[in-house]
Every structure is written in structure tokens, then in C-alpha cells.
Structure 1
Amino acid sequence: MEKLNYSRINWKDRVLTDAGEVKEEGTALNADNLNRMDEMIGKLVNRVNELEEKVQKT
């Protein structure tokens, strides 16, 4: 079974000034970041299914 590695994104909120101007950009909510999470979720679901099959055989 392959070892799964995942580097956390450590999401940051966008910070605005009282005037509504961007003081600090947050982490981009984009296809690249969402697809990274989606890929890992798929791998984890597959891993859980594999482990369930192994448990049922014992």
C-alpha cells in the first residue's frame, strides 16, 4: 500500500481595512487548490475501501 503524503495549504482569510480595502490577501480559492484537496479525498476514500475489504476477509 502506497504511503500518502499531503502538504497542508494553511488557508488564510483576506484581511480588509475599515475602509474595505485589502490589507492582506488571503489564500486563493481556485481550481488548483480545490483539485489538490479533491485528489487527496479520492485517495483516502480508496484507502478506506481497501482497508474495509481486508477487514472483511479476516
Structure 2
Amino acid sequence: MTTPLFLLRCVQLGLSMQELELLTIGLIHDMYAESRNDDSKYAALATQEDMDRF
């Protein structure tokens, strides 16, 4: 990943320069990947009962 692409991802996430000092590159990559999943529809969501059985 190039520096301009990394900075674009930061802007897309709405991160400030001050926040960048507190975050690692890996964490920002994870945040971006998870943000792309926000609109995903899941067939079933786990309930508390499912988690207890797990």
C-alpha cells in the first residue's frame, strides 16, 4: 500500500492527524476492512442463548 492510498483510507475513516499518532497502521487497516462490512446483511444473528451454548 502506498502512502497516498493509506492517507486516503484515513480520510475515508474520518481520522484526524492527532488520532493517527495513537493508532498503528495495522489497526487502521482493520478499521477500514470492518467499515466495508457495515452494510453487509447476515442470514442470522447470534442471540445470547447461542453465545451461552458456544
- Highest relative contact order (Cα 8 Å, sep 6+), 1 or 2? 2
Same fold (TM over 0.5): no
TM-score, normalising length from structure 2? Answer: 0.30
TM-score, normalising length from structure 1? Answer: 0.28
Rg larger in structure: 1
Point out the structure with the larger helix share: 2
